[in-house]
Structure 1
Amino acid sequence: MRFILLLFVCCICVVACDKNPQAKAALHQNHIRHQEDTIGFAQYSWQMDSIISRMDDADKLPNSETYKAVICPHDDYGYAGGLYYKTLSGIKAKTIILVGVAHRARNFDLQDRIIFGSYDSWQSPDGIIPVSSLRDKLLPKLNKKTYVVHDSMMQLEHSLEAITPFLKRKNPALEIIPMLVPYNTFQNMQLFSDDIGSGIAALMKEENLIYGKDIAVVISNDAIHYGSEGWGSGNLAPFGTDSSGTAQARQKDLDIVKETLQGELTTKRVQKFNEITIMADDYKSYKWTWCGRYSTPFGLLLANRIEQLTGASNKDGKLPHLTGTFIDWRSSIHNTHIKVDDLRMGHTAQADSTHWVAYIGMSYQ
């Protein structure tokens, strides 16, 4: 459903540019990545004002902690807005490494690489967000087999533009280093996270940047996609769609979080997450339907590698590891929705027992 609605919006944008050559030329001249989803996400500052004002007060409590990394949702603000705000409350850094999903990587036959863009800046409700100069310093340090620059994929992907407005609202001086993770084997994710993590750690040393204070990692992910309707030809409800089936799906998500994402972050635990969510004989197929089945393990491996290369060793001489703390689990049918229909916004998919999406918030320090 999200794909159909966004495709319609894209078509309108393309027609508008074709009828206005000056607008099209300006876009390319400034090389700005424009917003793709104007339905589920805010595109104007006044919309962000209203979304934030309508959130539960408990989601807006001040946070004195400083996170080095988080896992954050990317679904419609009407469904998940409060958890965005709560999860990102501990992100204090100016420069954010954004690790996103590549939902439509198949369209471009993209796999076995990490995707970067060449955009200079990104559009947001509160103004332009510059891409950090660190990106262009990072790429020459990387193995050529690690990455590909693909602006078309970066433009069509919504999983990072969902998060940037909240980060921009928190820090007007925000700069970003966006990357997307398409189909990848776990072995590739290990190799690529080590390569990129080493490059980032080297830049941090050169630029005198402190992990958490100056630079942090934000991983985009939505948890279980569940139900018997609205998923194309597939039935994504292995436990059924009654209250018992919904409860079982929720419990499995919570078990995954506890077993693989909470506590000391180790390669073994991240690999277990990979084994739970991806088919052993086909790394391009879901086993448990988290759309962040690649962004989450890669992002965690990357965040942990940066910690190992920039943090102090333990007393026993072992490399440091990040520690994951559970913030919350919510879903489009388990939590109260934020009213958006009077804000020229809406929902990109239904939310009921036959079609729902879950979200988690995790912090790492």
Structure 2
Amino acid sequence: MANSKTLAPQMRPLIDKVGFPHTMEQTEAFIARVKELSGDQWEARRNACHIKADTSWKVAICPHDDYSYVGYLYPLVLQNLKSKTVFIFGVAHKAGLFNLSDNLIFDDFATWHGIKNPVPVSGLRKALLAKIPETSYEVHQPMQQAEHSVEAMLPILQYYNNEAEIVPILVPPMPFDKMTRIAAELTEAIAAIASERHLKWGEDFSMLITTDAVHYGDQGWGNNNQCKRFGVDKEGYMETVEFENHLIDDCLAGRIDESHLHAFFDQTVDSANYQLHKWPWCGRYSVPFGLLTMYKLAKKMNLPVPEGKLLGYSTSITHDPVPVADLGGMGVTAPANLRHWVGYAALGYV
């Protein structure tokens, strides 16, 4: 695969200074407000999911929408991502603009912006690319620079894990059979590197998958009937949330295998054209790809498949937004109402 790699800036520039914090002061203020507004709920979910101080996710799924809307789910997930190296499977929202599909997308930056100090890109990226077939990936700086889903993870990740290094991997549209093949190739590479360097999964490295759940309503999403399948009144909202919870429980939570992930793909990706959605999760590719890698890696390393816990599900209209307008330019990037809202699923796998 011919790479569109050019002489890259050392640090990947920020793309969103409104929806996400980009300084320590903003992040500390956000955490403080979340504790004040949702601290009881946050603690209740930690207790219900038996999350301890030393719990370390092998894999996690985290939303990437505006911090004001996602609220306590950000720290609920990212507080227990403790490994030094984090492989981040992000969405490629603008893949179509760059005519990208069917292959993983890597970056070539040395660091990403952090709230304390630059977030290093792990040397494992170079090791991975030396082992994955060149036909299965592309290094594409413009796509990585335009994408916001990985960037959203870094403020809270670094807040709790200052030593974290990352390997950003974007997953654009691809059919399930291609996804399965490339996940197997990535698994072989990770397993080989882990063996060579004596790395332990959940201690030395982990995986973070980022996605927002359903994008719903009849305003702002284009003329797509799937975004308003159940209607846009209160009853439609409740039906949509119920559908979402069934999708998560049936396909993503618990001890999953490839059949669960194929079912998720079939329910979210159009059967006639894999570039289109059937049910509008933006992570309809990043989620099954990341979890296929998890499943295959567990089998390759002769480990139990990590079990998924649904830490929480909410939407941009479940609760009042966390107030952030006074935090150095932070705010929201889209409306939130019955006619335009987004779902958020948070899961941890141990």
Q: Same fold judged by TM-score > 0.5?
A: yes
Deviating beyond 4 angstroms after TM superposition, the runs of 4 or more aligned structure 1 residues are: none
What is the distance in 1 between the residues matched to 2:8 and 2:54? 41
Say whether the 8 Å CA contact 2:84–2:204 is kept in structure 1. yes
- Opposite residue 11 of structure 2, the aligned amino acid is I
Query: What displacement does 1:30 show?
Result: 5.0
What is the distance in 1 between the residues matched to 2:246 and 2:53? 26
Query: What displacement does 1:231 show?
Result: 1.5
What is the distance in 2 between the residues matched to 1:322 and 1:145? 29
What is the distance in 2 between the residues matched to 1:88 and 1:75? 14
Say whether the 8 Å CA contact 2:8–2:141 is kept in structure 1. no
Say whether the 8 Å CA contact 1:32–1:119 is kept in structure 2. yes
Q: Which runs of structure 2 are paired with 1:175-194 in the superposition (5 Å)?
A: 175-194=165-184
Query: What displacement does 1:126 show?
Result: 2.0
Q: Which runs of structure 2 are paired with 1:167-206 in the superposition (5 Å)?
A: 167-206=157-196
Say whether the 8 Å CA contact 1:211–1:307 is kept in structure 2. no
Q: Which runs of structure 2 are paired with 1:237-252 in the superposition (5 Å)?
A: 237-252=228-243
**Equivalent residue, structure 2, for 1:227:** 217
> Is 1:310 the counterpart of 2:301 in the alignment?
yes
Say whether the 8 Å CA contact 1:260–1:269 is kept in structure 2. yes
Query: What displacement does 1:322 show?
Result: 2.1
> Is 1:57 the counterpart of 2:47 in the alignment?
no
Compared CA separation, residues 169 and 57, structure 1 to 2 (3 A): same
- Opposite residue 221 of structure 1, the aligned amino acid is T
Query: What displacement does 1:227 show?
Result: 0.5
> Is 1:84 the counterpart of 2:74 in the alignment?
yes
What is the distance in 2 between the residues matched to 1:29 and 1:67? 32
**Equivalent residue, structure 2, for 1:6:** none
Structure 2 unmatched ranges of 5 or more: 1-6, 47-51
- Opposite residue 240 of structure 1, the aligned amino acid is G
Compared CA separation, residues 282 and 94, structure 1 to 2 (3 A): same
What is the distance in 2 between the residues matched to 1:81 and 1:120? 30
- Opposite residue 228 of structure 1, the aligned amino acid is D
> Is 1:141 the counterpart of 2:126 in the alignment?
no
Aligned match of 1:71 in 56, 61, 64? 61
What is the distance in 2 between the residues matched to 1:328 and 1:63? 18
**Equivalent residue, structure 2, for 1:216:** 206
Query: What displacement does 1:270 show?
Result: 0.5
With the length of structure 1 as denominator, give the TM-score of the two structures: 0.88
Aligned match of 2:148 in 145, 149, 158? 158
Query: What displacement does 1:237 show?
Result: 1.0
- Opposite residue 245 of structure 1, the aligned amino acid is G
> Is 1:100 the counterpart of 2:103 in the alignment?
no
> Is 1:348 the counterpart of 2:330 in the alignment?
no
What is the distance in 2 between the residues matched to 1:134 and 1:308? 21
- Opposite residue 297 of structure 2, the aligned amino acid is I
**Equivalent residue, structure 2, for 1:123:** 113
Say whether the 8 Å CA contact 2:79–2:156 is kept in structure 1. no
What is the distance in 1 between the residues matched to 2:150 and 2:135? 23
**Equivalent residue, structure 2, for 1:338:** 322
What is the distance in 2 between the residues matched to 1:113 and 1:262? 26
Aligned length: 331
What is the distance in 2 between the residues matched to 1:80 and 1:311? 36
1:216-264 deviation per Cα after TM superposition (whole angstroms, max 9, x unaligned) = 0000010011001112344521111111000011000000001101111
**Identical aligned pairs, as a percentage?**
36
Say whether the 8 Å CA contact 2:79–2:157 is kept in structure 1. no
Question: Secondary structure of 1:162's match?
Answer: helix
1:182-208 deviation per Cα after TM superposition (whole angstroms, max 9, x unaligned) = 011001110111101110111111111
With the length of structure 2 as denominator, give the TM-score of the two structures: 0.92
Question: Secondary structure of 2:196's match?
Answer: helix
Structure 1 unmatched ranges of 5 or more: 1-27, 313-319
Query: What displacement does 1:29 show?
Result: 7.1
Say whether the 8 Å CA contact 1:43–1:124 is kept in structure 2. yes
- Opposite residue 248 of structure 1, the aligned amino acid is E
Say whether the 8 Å CA contact 1:239–1:245 is kept in structure 2. yes
Compared CA separation, residues 311 and 89, structure 1 to 2 (3 A): farther
**Equivalent residue, structure 2, for 1:295:** 286
